[in-house]
Chains A and B, each alone.
Chain A
Amino acid sequence: MSFSYFFKLAAVNLGAVAVGLSLGMLIVYITGADIILAASTLIFAPLSDLYNVAEMFVWFTALMVIAQGIGLGIRAGVWNVGAPGQFLVGSILTMMVWKFLNPFIPPLPLTLLMLVGGAAGGLLWALIPAVIRSKFGGNEIVVTLLLNLVAVSVLWWALDGPIRGRFSAGYPLSDVIPTAYRIPSLIPDSRLSYSLLIALAVAAVFYLLAEKTHFGLQVKSVGLNPTAAKTSGIKVGWTLFKTLLIAGAAAGFAGSLHLMGVLFRMDAGYAETGNDFGYIAIAVAMLGGAHPVGILFSSIFFSYMMIGAQNMQRIIQIPFPLVYAVVGCMLISLTLVQRINRRAV
């Protein structure tokens, strides 16, 4: 943990980014676009003005909260691929709490209750795979993945039923959450709200949970060697159960943060929002080494890349799937170098 160690770590990661970027630019070059413009946009655009920086932290907020939950799961050796579904159900429950309780409860307590509702929604959606995994030893990856599809159907049903707005002019939309129940804006004329600070608080909670508590130690030992953990008296199934529930709650909480801080309304396109964040968060958690602090940095890296990529798509007009290919190249080379590095150091 010396200075030279950090220097080497930074040098290696920077080199990996350069290699990945070159590979990605090779793909862009094949399509015939201007690669110098593409690369400079990808790198400089996210910091070019306040709006882009704010957009970056909109992505950061959602990605980071979801990835913290997934990271805890990875530590225990369970893979929660169900974040998109938990994100959706959390958002739906947030909306339902607002819709049904707003005549009875004043704004401030209700706002807190909505956040709790979001976490509870994600938790409920993770309950099914958690029971299957810990009681029957079923594969949580398959169950969580398939429940994502079910969650989309639940969203469609809810938009036509319980959360359908009174003001939707015949369209399947929810009502807009009024200003009093929103998370206030952090930068004017942007979509960034104080949910960023709440997200950072969540990261701190996850750090304490994973590194400073008895439960964190149990999670780590179950992940390293379940048999040894069982022999030393840890209830493996119960630990996995709790871990999956926490991961679900984090994803659901991210849903309510996004709904109350950024979008304020749900429509059929909300399913796509959940998918955008939920699947990328898996890569974020992996790149961050499943460590709460690592995830903090990998979320910044990923949101930087996503905003750079969106700008790149706008400026050189390449198809969006290509953008994912460029980001993918960087991710592969980073993961590879990280592996080599971990073995060496």
Chain B
Amino acid sequence: MSRIKSVKAISTTVAAVLAVVALVVGLGIGALALGGLAGPREVTVTRTVVSTVTQTGAGATVTVTQTATVTAPGQTPFSRLKVLLILPIDEKDNSWNRAAFDAVMKLKDLYGFELSIERNLFDGTKAEPYAVDYARKGYNIIIGQGIQYMVMFHKIAPQFPNTMFLCVDCAPSLVGAFEPGAKVAPNVYNIWMTLGEGGFLMGYIAGKMTKSNKIGIVGGGRVPSIWEGHEAFKLGVKTANPNAEVLEAYMPLSWADVAGAKKAAQSMVAAGADVVSASGNGIDVGVTEAALESGVWTSTVYADLPALRPDIQKLMGSIVFRWDIVFDAAIKDYIRGTWKNGFLTATMASGIVTVSLGKNVPDNVKAEVMSLYEKILSGTLKITFDYTCFDNPDKPECKPTAAIAHGL
């Protein structure tokens, strides 16, 4: 009984002390917050201009170097921009997210705009409050790196007519396909991309490199863009090596399933494959790990893996997406005011999609691939797809591949 009483006595004192502490802390934080949030922050641009003049006179050389640093608030229309990048995962994937991250960082260094990055928002509906919040805070450009943001962007965009929503892997024609009757918002800048051309080249290398005539390819969800990449990969293999067999796996609905992708790649190696390719995102991480452990050839998409990981010996290469070109074009359109209903397709011919080859790929294979690459660039080689095969993959004309090469 006395114990309970003593507890009560302490608790009353504690309550009084805590109440005072709470009041002081609360008032202090409130006051500081008001002080800290009061003034708008100035954006300053610092430019360093270095000019070197060299004069050669009679027998003597005089070099004069002048350095001038110019600092002024809000200098260029570019530095006044506020840009948000929404990533489904994060840049550690050395793939889809990494390519976009590097691109915005490069442009930030170039233009000095204010940049925010939101990571791990895989779901479009989950990202919606984030996009709305930034748009309300006056962000000019909101980049959504993936088709999962398309429906959300077109839904919220009409509320923010002066904000450009840049949607990667999206197309205006798809908006209605996702939701009948949905309106295409003019202030969403859509960027579509083709994985087919790159897939064809990687498949070609795989066909040349295999000795066991078994090649594996692992992808994320079976969606149209990934499916195109896989079918073209099979076409590349068939072109390089008609005897080779392709083992294919899609991870159900998940581009972040590193462990599942690794397991799929390992089972392909166990079935005799000596090449396992990945077709993007977190899948790349798992497949690269599996390939490193079992010593087979591999390849990835989006980021320049031969440059990022020079330690990987058996690397065929990467299909590299230069998103900085795309983002730069869109930002310039925004500044010019010619950005409404913007639509751009990332292809090899536009210079956005390139190929980076691994250092240990034999020179003769490199030469063959580069000549095919040039054919694609010049437009003599075209790859098309039989889209009826997407829904009915078991039709005889869809085997071994639904991709068709023209002008090979």
Which A residues contact B (CB, under 8 angstroms)? 8, 11-12, 14-19, 21-22, 36-37, 39-40, 43-44, 49, 51-52, 55, 156, 159-160, 167-173, 175-176, 189, 191, 262-263, 265, 267-270, 272-273, 310-311, 314, 317, 320, 337, 340-341, 343-345
Contact = CB atoms under 8 A, between A and B. Distances in A.
B8 interface: yes
B390 A170 contact: yes
Interface of B: 4, 7-8, 10-12, 14-19, 21-22, 25-26, 29-30, 32-33, 36-37, 116-118, 120, 122-126, 128-130, 132-134, 136, 147-148, 151, 159, 174, 177-180, 182, 221-224, 227, 252-254, 390
Q: Which of B122, B179, B224 is most buried by chain A, counting CB atoms within 10 A of its CB?
A: B179
Contact of B133 (A51, A170, A317): A51
A269 B223 contact: no
A15 B132 contact: no
30 contacts: A11-B18, A15-B15, A15-B21, A18-B18, A18-B22, A36-B29, A36-B36, A39-B33, A40-B29, A44-B30, A44-B33, A156-B252, A159-B253, A168-B177, A168-B178, A169-B174, A171-B221, A173-B178, A176-B179, A176-B182, A189-B159, A191-B129, A268-B253, A273-B123, A310-B129, A314-B116, A317-B116, A344-B7, A344-B10, A345-B8
Given A267-B124, A314-B118, 14 more contacts: A12-B18, A12-B19, A18-B21, A43-B33, A52-B133, A55-B129, A169-B224, A191-B129, A267-B123, A267-B148, A269-B122, A269-B124, A314-B116, A340-B14
A175 B177 CA distance: 10
Contacts of B390: 170
A345 B14 CA distance: 13
Contact of B4 (A156, A159, A343): A343
Nearest to B18: A15
Nearest to A44: B33
A22 B25 contact: yes
A170 B159 CA distance: 29
Nearest to B147: A171
Nearest to A168: B178
Contacts of A37: 33, 36
Contact of A15 (B22, B29, B32): B22
Contacts of B128: 191
Nearest to A311: B133
B392 to A, nearest CB: 13
Nearest to B156: A189
Contacts of A270: 123
Contacts of B129: 51, 55, 191, 310
Contact of B18 (A14, A156, A176, A310): A14
Given A14-B22, A40-B37, A171-B223, A269 B11 contact: no
B230 to A, nearest CB: 13
Q: Which of B16, B18, B120 is most buried by chain A, counting CB atoms within 10 A of its CB?
A: B18
Contacts of B120: 320
A170 B220 CA distance: 13
Contacts of B159: 189
Given A51-B136, A314-B116, A269 B8 contact: no
A340 B253 contact: no
Contacts of B177: 167-169
Contact of B178 (A169, A269, A273, A337): A169
A128 to B, nearest CB: 24
Nearest to A49: B136
Given A17-B22, A18-B22, A189-B159, A43 B29 contact: yes
A167 B178 contact: yes
B170 to A, nearest CB: 11
Contact of B25 (A11, A18, A173): A18
A8 B312 CA distance: 65
Q: Which of B8, B10, B117, B182 is most buried by chain A, counting CB atoms within 10 A of its CB?
A: B8
Nearest to B7: A344
B19 A15 contact: yes
